[in-house]
Amino acid sequence: MPKLIETHNRQNPKAHLPHARLHDLRHIHATTLLLAGVPVHVVAARLGHADPAITLRVYAHVIYEQAATAADVFAKAING
């Protein structure tokens, strides 16, 4: 992955990409799906996790962020 990014950056100096490992992209993928509201069991299956509990442990911070957002949405609906 680093060589691919280096090649891209050399060929496209105005569209510079930061250093990223393939595993980093896996985390970005999972986090993006969870923030978009994709159910945990679907994300777990895409990641190859046998049990969604693994996904929940690794990405708990994303789930908590969604819970806070849901609470804000509910509060705004109540307060009209």
Tens of pLDDT, residues 8-50: 888 988 888 787 777 788 999 999 999 898 999 999 999 999 9
Tell me the average pLDDT across 59-74: 84
Is the model's pTM score more than 0.85? Answer: no
Determine the Cα–Cα distance for residues 15 and 28; give it in Å rounded to an integer: 19
Tell me the average pLDDT across 46-56: 95
| Residue type at 8 in one-letter notation | H
pLDDT at 31: 93
User: Are the C-beta atoms of 34 and 43 separated by less than 8 Å?
Assistant: yes
